[in-house]
Amino acid sequence: MKFIGYIAVAVVAAAAGFAIYQFGIAPRVSSEQAALPEAVAPAAESEAAADGLPETLPDFTLANLEGEPQSIRSWPGKSMIVNFWATWCAPCRREIPLLNKIQAEHGAEGFQIVGVAVDFRDDVLKYANEIGISYPLLIGEQDGLDAVTQFGRGSLGFPFTVFTDNQQRLVLFHVGELHPPQAEIMLEAVRKVNSGELTPLAARAVAAKQLAELPPASG
């Protein structure tokens, strides 16, 4: 019922092109924030939860590939890249090779991708086995939707991806298919937060400016 209705909404969004990209926890960055160079006043950090999004990664638990319950907080100290997807979502399928590549090339520096499949378990297991996914997966139907709502955005189309620092503070929130140039900007933003060079808010502002300057993605 609710699950099927959600699928219908997401499919319509995908069919329309689904070229919606939202960056950061405050998606409408002001021109002053976008111009921030390398720092931001500490008081501005109170804006991190703008639009109802949490400041840190919500702690939800779903079944892993083995069918055992596992928390999204099972990777302490890692910079998380949490990708919400479904097998019936074409943009989701297209970006999986890129996510595999990111995990292979950047896992050693502390980045951890976790795919959250909001889909039927049998479909996910079959597809994951066919395509080969090198990062952990959590799977849920209604409980997967419940995890989505913890981000304060209600019903979202797929895919969407959340980037955190190594303290699991939300740094970037991206809706739509992820492409390599975008991924590089987002990874670098997280690195600067981890090093203390930028706060999450400043990193969002800098990344938003850089992302806006990218040429439109082809394909």
Check residue 157 and give its pLDDT. Answer: 80
Name the pLDDT band for 155 (thresholds 50, 70, 90).
low
Query: pLDDT (tens digit, 9 = 90+) per residue, 198-216?
Result: 999 999 999 999 999 998 8
Residue whose C-alpha is closest to residue 66's, from 145, 141, 124: 124
Mean pLDDT along residues 48-60? 75
Q: How far apart are alpha carbons 77 and 166 in whole angstroms? A: 5
**Distances 141 to 7, 58, 85, 119, 121 between C-alpha atoms, Å:** 11, 17, 12, 5, 8
What domains can be seen in the chain, in order of their start residue? 2-212 (3.40.30.10)
Name the pLDDT band for 52 (thresholds 50, 70, 90).
low
- By the 8 A CB rule, do 214 and 176 touch? no
With a cut of 50, say whether residue 13 has pLDDT above it. Answer: no
Mean pLDDT along residues 63-83? 97
In this prediction the pTM is 0.77
Residues 6+ apart with CB under 8 A from 40: 33, 198, 199, 201, 202, 205
Q: Which residue has the tokens 């590549």?
A: 101
Q: How far apart are alpha carbons 163 and 185 in whole angstroms? A: 11
Check residue 54 and give its pLDDT. Answer: 86
- By the 8 A CB rule, do 91 and 177 touch? yes
Mean pLDDT along residues 166-175? 94
Q: How far apart are alpha carbons 82 and 217 in whole angstroms? A: 22
Check residue 152 and give its pLDDT. Answer: 75
Check residue 5 and give its pLDDT. Answer: 45
Check residue 8 and give its pLDDT. Answer: 42
Check residue 29 and give its pLDDT. Answer: 30
What is the share, in percent, of the chain residues with pLDDT greater than 90? 67
Query: pLDDT (tens digit, 9 = 90+) per residue, 108-148?
Result: 999 999 999 999 999 999 999 999 999 999 999 999 999 99
- Cβ count within 10 A of residue 1: 6
Check residue 120 and give its pLDDT. Answer: 97
